[in-house]
C-alpha cells in the first residue's frame, strides 16, 4: 500500500486501540503524545493541554479503566488499549451524574480544567462510591483549577454521590 | 511540544528476550522506556537528548508482586498504584507505600513504576530512601543472564548507576526481615505543597530497639546530595545508645558530614540541612513515643 | 423586593458545553492551510541586537519570517504609553522580549527552527529590582526610570508628628505572581490587504486588541475584527497581553497570506507574559495614646518591568487603596511605578490593591501593638463610617459598618475562642496555631473619571426566534458574565432565563462596552444591560406591538412581529456617570470609585516548627457587596480569589535569575492543589447599591486582597514572628525563627 510506505518513510506508525468504545487506527510518530493524537487525528478536543508535564490533569483520560495524563503517554503505548475521553463520559444527551452536579453546584467556571476534573471525579467514584472529604481531596489532587478554589468541585462530587447513591 | 518528534524512535519488542537482544545489539544505543512519567516531561521540554528508545510497558515478564517467607519481590514495572494496594506492602513496608502515594497524583501513580523511578536516578525521587532503609536488592538482566545486586551504592554519582549498558532492571527484592515488627519506621517527605510536590527533603529511617537501646538503625535521605544518601555513619553511631540529648547531638553531628545539600530553584542548602537535622531528631524522639 | 432571577443560583449558561468538553477554546479550532507561529525571544535582559544568524541546517525558504522591518504600521503595542515594540528592533529591554517570528505548517520543524535562530546581542547593564531602579544608578527608561507617580494629600501630615503619642514605621514587600490561567495564551489570525485583519483568541478585552491592531497595521477600524473564543481563565493575565500575541499572529498571517495560529506552551507563557507587580511599601503612622489615627505617610513603589503597559493604572489602584477603610484626617501617599529589565508586569486580579493592602493590614497590627491594643480594638476605633472621608477625600455615602463585618467574621470563625485556646496550647506544641484577620475595601469599576472616558455602550437585539440577545464586548472568562447578564435582562423584562442570549464578543457585532476588568462587568456593564433591555421593550411598546402587561410568549411574538415589519430591532444604552461622582485627576482627589465592597477575612494557620511549613487550616470570608446577583457564582468568585490569595502568600514564588523566571513550569511554580486549600466559608452581607443592577456592586477582585495579610497576621499570632514579606516560603520562616532565637 502506497500510504503505508509513505508512513514508514516518515517514521510514523499505526496503532490500533479503541477510543470511547469504537475501534480506532491512530497514526503518528511513535513518541507523539496521546493528547495530540486524540485532539488532532480524532478531533476529540475536549481533552485539554494545561502544562504538558503531568502536573495539571487537564489532559486526563482513562486507559484500560485507569486515569492517566494523556500528555505523558506516547502513541506507541496505546496499542491494544481501551481509551476513554471526556467525549465518552456522557451518553448522547444524558449527562453523567458528575457532569450534572458540576453544573448545579458551580463546579465549572472558565471550564478549561473541567473535562479533566470530571474525568478524575468519575474515576474517583468508580473506585470509591462513598468518598470522605479527604478521599475527594486526594482523588482530585492531580487536577489543578485556578478559578474555583475547589470548594464547589468538592460539593459537586458529594452531590453526585447523593444523586447516584441509590444506583450504586 | 518542543521536541522534534520525527527524530525519536520508540520500538515495541514482542518479549523481554527480544528487548534484551535489542539492548545487546548495540549497547548504549537503545534505552528502555517504561511509564514515561519522567521521559515524556523531558521530551515535551525539548530536553530529551537520547533519541532511541524501546517500550517495556507491555512486557508482563516485568510485572507482578511475589511473596515468599523471606522476600517480597516486585516486578520493575510495578506501578505506584499497584505497590500501595498490596496488603503485605502496606503492612510491612509502609514507608515505600507512603512514598508511592506521595509521588505525583493518581494519574502519575498509575503510570510511574518503581523500576523507572530507580533508573531515572533522580536524587529527588521519593522511593529510593525507603528502598535503602529496607535493604532492597535489584535484579539486573541482560542477554548474558541475570544477577542480583544490593540497591545501596547503586547510584554512584549524579545520574550514574552501577549497571552495564546492556542491562535492564527487572525486579526489586525486599527482605522481610528488614521490616519486622520490632522495627520502628519513620518516613517524611518535605515538599512545597501537600500533594504532587517534588521533594525538598525526603527522610526514611528505621530502628530496632532492645532494652531501651537502639540495637540497629538505618537512615537514608533524598534531595540532599547528588544521589540518594545512605547515612551509614549516622546510623552506626546510634548503635547501643539510648535516645537522649547527647545521642541526638552526636547523630546530627555525623549527619552534617554525610549530606551535601545545595541551593536550587526549589530550596536552599541551609534549609535542607536544618530540616534534615530536625527530622533526624524527630525520628529519634519517635522511637520513644 | 420580589425577584425571579436576581439573587437566584441560576446555572451557568455555557455549563453544559464546559462539562462535556464541547466548549471550543482557541486551540480546539483549526483552519484550512493554517500555519503555526513561534516567537524567537531575547536570551539577555538588556542589550543591542548586533546580528541575527540562521543555522543552515533548517530549510528557511519554507518559513515565513517576520522582523521589525515587516511591520506595516507602527511597531508598538498601543495602550497607554506607546513604548513597547511588537518586535524589538535595535534594543532589547528584557529577557524573553520578542525579536523575530516564524511560521510553518509543521509545528515540530517550527521548534527546531526556533532553536536554530541565534541572536547576537551586545549586553548593556541591566536593572533587576525596584530598589536598584529607584536608586537610579542606571537609567533604563525615560529620564528617571519612573513610568508614573502619584501624590495623594489629605489634611497636612507634616503637622502631626510633633503631637503624636506614637510614631510607628514599617516596610512591607510583595513578590511577583503568575496568573496561571490553565489555558495558555493563544490566537488565530487571518490577515491580508483586501479583507483586513481578523483575530480569534483567548482574551478579556477584544477592543484593546482592536485598538492595538489598528495602529500595528495602520488600517481603519472597520478593517480590524477581533473575536473572543471561549477563554480558559484570565485573572488580568489576558487583559493587555493578547494585544501582543494577536499582533504577532496577524503579522505572520499578513506576510504569509495564510491563517496563523500561535499557542504558547506553559513554559513560554510563564516566562514571557505578564505577572503581578512586585512591590515595596513604607509606612509611617502617627497615633494618639488612645489609638486614634492622626496621620499616615505612605510610600508605595511597584516594579513595572521593562515597559509601561498598564503600570500607571495598577499603581493608581494600589495608591488609592493604600490607606484602606480607615478614617484618618491627615494622609500623604506618594507612589511610583519604576522600570526594570524583566518582562513587563501587568494586570492581575486586584490590580495593585493586594500589594498595598497587604502592607497596610500588616502595619495596622504593628501600630495596634505599639499602642497596646488588640488588632481588632485598634481597628474598631478607626474604621471609616458613613459621612467620613477616604484618603482621596471621597465622602462615604453608604451605611458602611466594618465593625459588624468583624463581629460576623469572628463569630463564624470562632476567632476569640481559638485565639485563647491556641495561646494556651502553643507553649508546648511542636505545631503552633494562630488566627489573624484583615479588614479592607475594594473599589468597583474604573478609577475616578475612567468610566466617564470609556463611554461604554451595550446593545440588546431581538432575534428571529423571539429572544433577546445582549450585545456587549465583556467576556465570559469563567466569572459568569453570560449568566449574570441573562439574569439581569430576564429580570428587567420579566422574561424566562432561556429567552436571553448573550452574543459572542466580536468587534464586528458588539459595541464597545469596555474591558472585562476592574470588577466592572456586573456593576457598570450589567446596569447598561438592564437599560438596553428596557429600551428595547420601550420600542416594542411604542410600536404598539407589545402591551403594558405581557407574558413571555407575548414578548416573543412582539419581537417576531417587529422584525417582520421593520427588519431589525436593536437598542443601545450608554454609560452616564451618576451626577454626584466628582473626581479631580490633577490633584488625585475626590470620588475614586462609584462604590466599594467591604470585607473582613479571617485565617487560621498552623506552623510546623520541624519543617517551618505554614498551612492555612480554615478561612472565613465575610463581605458586603451590595445585592448578590447569583449566590453560587458570587461564592465561587470569593473562594477562587481566596485560593489565589493563599497561593500568593505561601506557595507562589517566582524564582528569578538574570531577569528570567527559571521556575517556569507548573512542577516548580507551585499553586495550591485540592489538598492545600482549607475549607473556605463565604458569607455575604447585602446592602443594595442604588446605581448597580438589582443593587449589585463589583466583587471580582475583592477576594484577592485579604488572604495575604490575614495569613501573616495569623502566623504572627501563632509564632510571635513579624513577617512582612510575601511569598513567605518555609526557607524564610526558618530564618525568622532563627533570628528570634539568636
Length of chain B: 289
Q: Confidence class of residue A7 from pLDDT cuts 50, 70 and 90?
A: very low
**Helices C206-217 and C241-256, interaxial angle, to 10°?**
40
- Give the tens place of pLDDT for each residue, B113-130: 999 999 999 999 999 999
A52 touching B (Cβ < 8 Å) = yes
Rg (CA), chain C: 26
Three-state secondary structure call for residue C372: coil
Span C31-124+184-267 CATH architecture: Alpha-Beta Complex (3.90)
Q: How many other CB atoms are there within 10 angstroms of residue C732's CB atom?
A: 17
Compare CB distances from A114 to C19, C27, C231 and report the shortest one's residue: C19
Q: Give, in order, the Cα–Cα distances in Å from B28 to each of B45, B49, B51.
A: 23, 13, 11
Residue C734 exposure: Cα atoms within 13 Å on the Cβ side: 18
Q: How far apart are CA C730 and CA C74, in angstroms?
A: 47
pLDDT at A71 over 80: yes
Q: Confidence class of residue A165 from pLDDT cuts 50, 70 and 90?
A: low
C111 touching B (Cβ < 8 Å) = yes
Choose from A31, A67, A142 for mutation: most chain B CBs within 10 A.
A31
* CATH superfamily placement of domain A11-88: Beta-grasp domain (3.10.20.30)
Q: How far apart are CA A111 and CA C726, in angstroms?
A: 30
**CATH class given for the domain over C15-23+450-574:** alpha beta
Q: What local confidence, expressed as pLDDT, does residue A93 receive?
A: 81
Mean pLDDT of B175-190: 89
Q: What local confidence, expressed as pLDDT, does residue C81 receive?
A: 94
Compare CB distances from B271 to C665, C667, C734 and report the shortest one's residue: C734
Q: Is C517 left (phi over 0), alpha (psi -120 to 50) or beta?
A: beta
Residues of C in contact with B1 (CB under 8 A): 107-108, 111, 265
Q: For chain A, what percent of residues have pLDDT higher than 90?
A: 88
Q: How far apart are CA C203 and CA C230, in angstroms?
A: 9
A70 touching B (Cβ < 8 Å) = no
Length of chain C: 742
Among the four given CATH numbers 3.40.50.620, 1.10.357.10, 3.30.160.20, 3.30.465.10, the one describing domain B60-178: 3.30.465.10
Q: Confidence class of residue A167 from pLDDT cuts 50, 70 and 90?
A: very low
**List of chain C residues with pLDDT < 70:** 1, 741-742
Q: How far apart are CA C176 and CA C659, in angstroms?
A: 12
DSSP code of residue C522: I
Compare CB distances from A150 to C22, C480, C674 and report the shortest one's residue: C674
Nearest partner of C217 among C185, C239, C192, C200, judged by Cα: C192
Compare CB distances from A146 to C9, C180, C635 and report the shortest one's residue: C180
| Cβ pair B1:A36 closer than 8 A | yes
Q: How far apart are CA B254 and CA B270, in angstroms?
A: 17
> Could you tell me if B277 and B252 are in contact, meaning their C-beta atoms sit under 8 angstroms apart?
yes
Q: How many other CB atoms are there within 10 angstroms of residue C576's CB atom?
A: 12
> Could you tell me if C410 and C607 are in contact, meaning their C-beta atoms sit under 8 angstroms apart?
no
A15: Cβ contacts below 8 Å, ≥ 6 apart: A25, A26, A27, A28, A75, A76, A78, A79
Residue A113 exposure: Cα atoms within 13 Å on the Cβ side: 29
What nine digits make up the cell of A78? 496505546
What nine digits make up the cell of C735? 530564618
Q: How far apart are CA C367 and CA A113, in angstroms?
A: 43
Q: What local confidence, expressed as pLDDT, does residue B244 receive?
A: 97
Q: What local confidence, expressed as pLDDT, does residue B168 receive?
A: 97
CATH of domain B182-286: 3.30.390.50
- Give the tens place of pLDDT for each residue, B78-98: 999 999 999 999 999 999 999
| Cβ pair B1:C673 closer than 8 A | no
Residues of B in contact with A60 (CB under 8 A): 107
Nearest-neighbour CA in chain A from C16: distance (Å): 7
Q: How far apart are CA B3 and CA B40, in angstroms?
A: 10
Residue whose cell numbers read 467591604 = C598
| Cβ pair B4:C668 closer than 8 A | no
Q: In what order do the strands lie in the sheet with C595-608?
A: C431-444, C595-608, C613-624, C680-685
| Cβ pair A141:B37 closer than 8 A | no
Q: What local confidence, expressed as pLDDT, does residue B57 receive?
A: 98
* Bridge partner list, A38: none
| Cβ pair C636:A150 closer than 8 A | no
Q: Confidence class of residue B192 from pLDDT cuts 50, 70 and 90?
A: confident
- Give the tens place of pLDDT for each residue, C640-653: 999 999 999 999 99
Length of chain A: 168
| Cβ pair C265:B1 closer than 8 A | yes
Residue of C nearest to B269 (CA): C731
| Cβ pair C673:B274 closer than 8 A | no
Alpha carbon dihedral C591, C280, C611, B156, in 10-degree steps, equals 130
Domain C15-23+450-574 shares a fold with domain C279-447+588-741:
yes
Q: What local confidence, expressed as pLDDT, does residue B195 receive?
A: 84
Residue whose cell numbers read 515535551 = B44
Residue whose cell numbers read 448545579 = A104
> Could you tell me if B27 and B166 are in contact, meaning their C-beta atoms sit under 8 angstroms apart?
yes
CATH fold for the domain made of C279-447+588-741? Aldehyde Oxidoreductase; domain 4 (3.30.365)
Alpha carbon dihedral B93, B97, B103, B104, in 10-degree steps, equals 170
Mean pLDDT of A38-49: 98
Q: What local confidence, expressed as pLDDT, does residue A1 receive?
A: 37
Which ipTM did the prediction report?
A: 0.97
A-C CB pairs within 8 A amount to 166
| Cβ pair A114:C27 closer than 8 A | no
Q: How far apart are CA C197 and CA C212, in angstroms?
A: 12
Rg (CA), chain B: 19
Compare CB distances from A142 to B33, B40, B106 and report the shortest one's residue: B106
- Give the tens place of pLDDT for each residue, C552-600: 999 999 999 999 999 999 999 999 999 889 999 999 999 999 999 999 9
| Cβ pair A68:B111 closer than 8 A | yes
Nearest-neighbour CA in chain B from C405: distance (Å): 32
With residue A42 as reference, give the H or E element that holds it.
Answer: none
| Cβ pair C23:A137 closer than 8 A | no
Q: How far apart are CA A25 and CA A28, in angstroms?
A: 10
Q: How far apart are CA B35 and CA A29, in angstroms?
A: 17
| Cβ pair B58:A52 closer than 8 A | no
Domain positions in chain B: 5-55, 60-178, 182-286
With residue B222 as reference, give the H or E element that holds it.
Answer: strand B213-222
Residues of C in contact with B44 (CB under 8 A): 265
Nearest-neighbour CA in chain B from A73: distance (Å): 7
Q: What local confidence, expressed as pLDDT, does residue A9 receive?
A: 55
| Cα three-residue angle A60-A65-A66, rounded to 5 degrees | 50
Residue of B nearest to A80 (CA): B58
Compare CB distances from B5 to C108, C610, C663 and report the shortest one's residue: C108
Residue whose cell numbers read 513567605 = C728
Q: How far apart are CA A150 and CA A153, in angstroms?
A: 5
Q: How far apart are CA A79 and CA A83, in angstroms?
A: 10
Helix, strand, coil in percent for chain B, rounding step 5: 35, 25, 40
Nearest-neighbour CA in chain B from C275: distance (Å): 19
Mean pLDDT of B126-146: 97
Residues of A in contact with C11 (CB under 8 A): 103-104
| Cα three-residue angle C445-C447-C453, rounded to 5 degrees | 90
With residue A65 as reference, give the H or E element that holds it.
Answer: none
Whether the upstream peptide bond of residue C727 has omega within 30° of 0, thus cis, is yes
| Cα three-residue angle C683-C3-C479, rounded to 5 degrees | 50
Q: How far apart are CA A45 and CA A105, in angstroms?
A: 24
Q: How many other CB atoms are there within 10 angstroms of residue B186's CB atom?
A: 20
Q: What local confidence, expressed as pLDDT, does residue C742 receive?
A: 54
Q: Is the dihedral of CA B15, B16, B22, B25 positive or negative?
A: negative
| Cβ pair A55:C666 closer than 8 A | yes
DSSP code of residue B177: G
Q: For chain B, what percent of residues have pLDDT higher than 70?
A: 100
C430: Cβ contacts below 8 Å, ≥ 6 apart: C608, C609, C610
> Could you tell me if C193 and C223 are in contact, meaning their C-beta atoms sit under 8 angstroms apart?
no
Q: Confidence class of residue A166 from pLDDT cuts 50, 70 and 90?
A: very low
Longest dimension (CA), chain A: 56
| Cα three-residue angle B64-B69-B71, rounded to 5 degrees | 50
**DSSP secondary structure, C248-312, as one string:** HHHHHHHHHSS-EEEE--HHHHHHHS--PPPEEEEEEEEE-TT--EEEEEEEEEEEEESS-TTHH
Three-state secondary structure call for residue C337: strand
Q: How far apart are CA A167 and CA C338, in angstroms?
A: 62
B5 touching A (Cβ < 8 Å) = yes
C357 touching A (Cβ < 8 Å) = no
Q: How far apart are CA B95 and CA B185, in angstroms?
A: 7
Q: How far apart are CA A163 and CA B3, in angstroms?
A: 45
Q: Give, in order, the Cα–Cα distances in Å from A126 to each of A98, A121, C38.
A: 11, 9, 42
Q: How far apart are CA C33 and CA C254, in angstroms?
A: 14
Residues of A (134-163) whose Cβ lies below 8 Å from B: 137-139, 141-143
* Bridge partner list, C598: C441, C624
C725: Cβ contacts below 8 Å, ≥ 6 apart: C172, C173, C174, C175, C732
Residues of A in contact with B1 (CB under 8 A): 33, 36, 52
Q: How far apart are CA B197 and CA B135, in angstroms?
A: 26
| Cβ pair C16:A47 closer than 8 A | no
Give span(s): CATH 1.10.150.120, chain A: 97-164
Three-state secondary structure call for residue C189: strand
With residue C450 as reference, give the H or E element that holds it.
Answer: helix C450-454
Compare CB distances from B1 to A52, A67, A79 and report the shortest one's residue: A52
| Cβ pair C731:B271 closer than 8 A | yes
B113 touching A (Cβ < 8 Å) = no
CATH fold for the domain made of A97-164? DNA polymerase; domain 1 (1.10.150)
- Touching subunits of A (3+ CB pairs, under 8 Å) are B, C
C8 touching A (Cβ < 8 Å) = no
CATH of domain B5-55: 3.30.43
Domain positions in chain C: 15-23+450-574, 31-124+184-267, 279-447+588-741
Residues of A in contact with C640 (CB under 8 A): 109, 146-149
Continuous H helices in C543-578: 552-566
Amino acid at each position: 500500500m502506497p500510504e503505508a510506505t509513505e508512513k514508514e518513510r516518515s517514521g510514523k506508525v499505526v496503532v490500533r486501540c479503541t477510543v470511547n468504545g469504537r475501534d480506532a487506527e491512530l497514526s503518528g510518530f511513535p513518541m507523539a503524545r496521546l493528547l495530540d493524537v486524540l485532539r488532532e487525528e480524532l478531533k476529540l478536543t475536549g481533552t485539554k493541554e494545561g502544562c504538558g508535564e503531568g502536573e495539571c490533569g487537564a489532559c486526563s483520560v482513562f486507559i484500560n479503566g485507569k486515569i492517566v495524563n494523556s500528555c505523558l503517554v506516547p502513541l506507541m503505548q496505546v496499542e491494544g488499549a481501551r481509551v476513554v475521553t471526556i467525549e465518552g463520559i456522557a451518553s448522547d444527551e444524558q449527562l453523567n451524574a458528575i457532569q450534572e452536579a458540576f453544573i448545579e453546584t458551580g463546579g465549572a467556571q472558565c471550564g478549561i480544567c473541567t473535562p479533566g476534573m470530571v474525568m478524575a471525579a468519575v474515576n474517583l467514584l468508580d473506585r470509591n462510591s462513598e468518598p470522605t472529604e479527604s478521599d475527594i481531596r486526594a482523588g482530585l489532587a492531580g487536577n489543578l483549577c485556578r478559578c474555583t478554589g475547589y470548594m464547589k468541585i468538592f460539593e459537586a462530587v458529594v452531590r453526585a454521590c447523593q444523586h447516584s447513591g441509590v444506583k450504586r | 511540544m518542543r521536541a522534534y518528534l520525527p527524530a525519536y524512535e520508540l520500538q515495541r519488542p514482542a518479549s523481554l528476550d527480544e528487548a534484551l537482544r535489542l539492548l545487546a545489539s548495540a549497547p548504549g544505543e537503545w534505552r528502555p522506556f517504561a511509564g514515561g512519567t519522567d521521559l515524556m516531561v523531558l521530551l515535551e521540554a525539548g530536553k530529551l537528548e537520547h533519541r532511541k528508545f524501546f517500550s517495556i510497558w507491555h512486557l508482563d515478564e516485568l510485572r507482578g508482586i511475589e511473596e515468599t517467607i523471606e522476600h517480597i519481590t516486585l516486578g520493575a514495572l510495578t506501578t505506584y498504584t499497584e505497590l500501595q494496594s498490596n496488603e503485605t506492602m502496606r503492612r510491612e513496608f509502609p514507608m515505600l507505600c507512603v512514598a508511592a502515594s506521595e509521588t505525583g497524583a493518581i494519574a502519575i501513580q498509575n503510570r510511574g513504576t518503581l523500576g523507572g523511578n530507580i533508573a531515572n536516578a533522580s536524587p529527588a525521587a521519593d522511593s529510593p530512601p525507603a528502598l535503602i532503609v529496607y535493604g532492597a536488592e535489584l535484579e539486573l538482566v541482560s542477554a548474558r543472564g541475570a544477577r542480583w545486586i544490593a540497591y545501596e551504592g547503586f547510584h554512584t554519582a549524579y545520574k550514574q548507576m552501577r549497571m552495564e549498558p546492556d542491562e535492564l532492571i527487572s525486579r526489586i527484592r525486599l527482605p522481610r526481615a528488614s521490616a519486622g515488627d520490632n522495627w520502628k519506621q519513620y518516613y517524611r517527605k518535605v515538599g512545597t505543597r501537600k500533594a504532587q510536590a517534588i521533594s525538598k527533603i525526603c527522610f526514611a529511617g528505621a530502628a530496632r530497639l532492645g532494652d531501651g537501646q537502639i540495637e540497629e538503625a538505618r537512615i537514608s535521605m533524598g534531595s540532599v546530595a547528588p544521589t540518594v544518601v545512605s547515612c551509614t555513619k549516622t546510623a552506626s553511631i546510634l548503635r547501643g545508645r539510648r535516645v537522649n540529648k547527647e545521642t541526638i547531638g552526636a547523630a546530627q553531628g555525623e549527619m552534617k558530614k554525610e549530606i551535601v545539600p545545595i541551593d536550587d530553584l526549589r530550596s536552599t542548602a541551609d534549609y535542607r540541612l536544618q530540616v534534615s537535622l530536625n527530622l533526624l531528631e524527630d525520628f529519634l524522639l519517635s522511637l520513644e513515643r | 423586593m420580589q425577584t425571579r432571577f436576581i439573587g437566584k443560583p441560576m446555572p451557568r449558561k455555557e455549563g453544559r458545553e464546559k462539562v462535556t468538553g464541547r466548549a471550543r477554546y482557541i486551540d480546539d479550532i483549526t483552519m484550512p492551510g493554517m500555519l503555526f507561529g513561534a516567537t524567537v525571544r531575547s536570551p539577555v535582559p538588556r542589550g543591542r541586537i548586533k546580528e541575527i544568524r540562521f543555522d543552515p541546517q533548517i530549510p528557511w525558504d519554507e518559513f515565513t519570517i517576520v522582523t521589525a522591518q515587516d511591520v506595516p504600521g507602527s511597531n508598538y503595542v498601543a495602550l497607554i504609553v506607546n513604548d513597547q515594540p511588537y518586535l524589538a528592533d535595535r534594543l532589547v529591554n528584557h529577557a524573553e522580549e520578542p525579536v523575530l517570528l516564524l511560521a510553518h505548517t509543521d509545528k515540530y520543524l517550527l521548534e527546531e527552527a526556533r532553536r536554530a535562530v541565534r541572536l547576537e546581542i551586545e549586553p548593556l547593564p541591566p536593572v533587576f529590582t525596584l530598589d536598584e531602579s529607584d536608586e537610579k544608578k542606571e537609567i533604563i527608561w525615560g529620564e528617571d526610570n519612573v513610568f508614573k507617580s502619584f501624590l495623594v494629600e489629605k489634611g497636612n501630615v507634616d503637622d502631626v508628628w510633633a503631637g503624636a503619642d506614637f510614631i510607628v514605621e514599617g516596610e512591607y514587600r510583595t513578590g511577583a505572581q503568575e496568573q496561571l490561567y490553565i489555558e495558555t495564551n493563544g490566537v488565530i489570525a487571518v490577515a491580508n490587504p483586501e479583507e483586513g485583519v481578523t483575530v480569534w483568541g483567548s482574551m478579556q478585552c477584544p477592543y484593546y486588541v482592536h485598538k492595538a491592531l489598528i495602529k500595528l497595521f495602520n488600517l481603519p477600524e472597520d478593517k480590524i475584527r477581533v473575536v473572543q473564543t471561549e477563554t480558559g481563565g484570565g485573572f488580568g493575565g489576558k487583559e493587555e497581553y493578547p494585544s501582543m500575541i494577536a499582533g504577532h499572529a496577524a503579522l505572520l498571517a499578513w506576510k504569509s497570506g495564510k491563517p496563523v495560529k500561535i499557542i504558547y506552551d506553559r513554559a513560554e507563557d510563564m516566562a514571557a507574559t505578564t505577572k503581578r507587580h512586585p512591590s515595596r511599601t513604607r509606612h509611617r503612622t502617627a497615633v494618639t495614646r488612645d489609638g486614634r489615627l492622626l496621620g499616615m505617610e505612605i510610600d508605595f513603589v511597584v516594579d513595572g518591568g521593562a515597559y509601561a503597559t498598564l503600570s500607571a493604572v495598577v499603581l493608581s489602584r494600589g495608591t488609592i487603596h493604600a490607606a484602606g477603610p480607615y478614617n484618618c484626617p491627615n494622609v500623604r501617599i506618594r507612589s511610583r511605578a519604576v522600570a526594570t529589565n524583566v518582562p513587563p508586569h501587568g494586570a492581575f486580579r486586584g490590580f495593585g490593591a493586594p500589594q498595598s493592602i497587604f502592607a497596610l493590614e500588616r502595619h495596622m497590627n504593628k501600630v495596634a501593638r505599639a499602642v497596646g491594643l488588640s488588632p481588632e480594638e485598634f481597628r474598631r476605633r478607626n474604621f471609616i463610617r458613613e459621612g467620613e472621608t477616604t484618603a482621596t477625600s471621597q465622602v462615604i455615602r453608604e451605611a458602611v459598618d466594618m465593625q459588624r463585618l468583624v463581629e460576623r467574621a469572628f463569630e463564624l470563625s470562632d476567632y476569640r475562642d481559638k485565639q485563647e485556646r491556641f495561646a494556651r496550647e502553643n507553649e508546648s506544641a511542636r505545631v503552633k496555631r494562630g488566627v489573624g484577620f484583615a479588614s479592607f475595601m475594594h473599589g468597583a469599576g474604573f478609577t475616578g473619571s475612567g468610566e466617564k472616558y470609556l463611554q461604554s455602550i451595550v446593545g440588546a437585539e431581538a432575534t428571529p426566534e423571539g429572544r433577546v440577545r445582549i450585545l456587549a464586548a465583556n467576556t465570559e472568562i469563567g466569572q459568569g458574565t453570560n449568566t449574570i447578564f441573562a439574569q439581569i435582562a430576564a429580570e428587567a423584562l420579566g422574561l424566562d432565563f432561556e429567552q436571553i442570549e448573550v452574543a459572542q464578543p466580536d468587534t464586528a457585532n458588539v459595541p464597545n462596552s469596555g474591558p472585562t476588568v476592574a470588577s466592572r462587568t456586573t456593576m457598570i456593564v450589567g446596569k447598561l444591560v438592564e437599560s438596553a433591555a428596557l429600551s428595547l421593550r420601550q420600542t416594542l411598546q411604542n410600536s404598539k406591538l407589545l402591551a403594558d402587561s405581557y407574558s413571555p410568549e407575548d414578548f416573543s411574538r412582539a419581537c417576531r412581529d417587529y422584525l417582520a415589519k421593520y427588519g431589525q430591532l436593536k437598542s443601545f444604552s450608554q454609560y452616564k456617570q451618576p451626577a454626584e461622582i466628582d473626581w479631580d485627576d490633577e490633584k488625585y482627589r475626590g470620588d475614586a470609585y462609584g462604590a466599594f465592597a467591604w470585607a473582613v477575612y479571617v485565617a487560621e494557620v498552623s506552623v510546623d516548627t520541624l519543617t517551618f511549613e505554614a498551612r492555612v487550616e480554615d478561612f472565613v470570608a465575610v463581605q458586603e457587596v451590595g445585592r448578590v446577583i447569583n449566590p453560587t457564582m458570587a461564592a465561587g468568585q470569593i473562594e477562587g480569589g481566596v485560593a489565589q490569595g493563599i497561593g500568593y502568600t505561601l506557595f507562589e514564588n517566582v524564582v528569578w535569575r538574570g531577569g528570567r523566571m527559571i521556575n517556569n513550569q507548573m512542577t516548580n511554580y507551585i499553586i495550591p492543589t485540592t489538598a492545600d486549600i482549607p475549607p473556605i466559608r463565604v458569607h455575604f452581607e447585602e446592602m443594595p447599591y442604588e446605581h448597580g443592577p438589582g443593587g449589585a456592586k463589583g466583587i471580582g477582585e475583592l477576594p484577592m486582597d485579604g488572604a495575604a495579610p490575614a495569613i501573616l497576621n495569623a502566623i504572627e499570632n501563632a509564632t510571635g514572628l513579624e513577617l512582612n514579606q510575601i511569598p513567605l516560603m518555609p526557607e524564610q520562616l526558618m530564618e525568622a525563627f532563627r533570628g528570634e532565637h539568636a
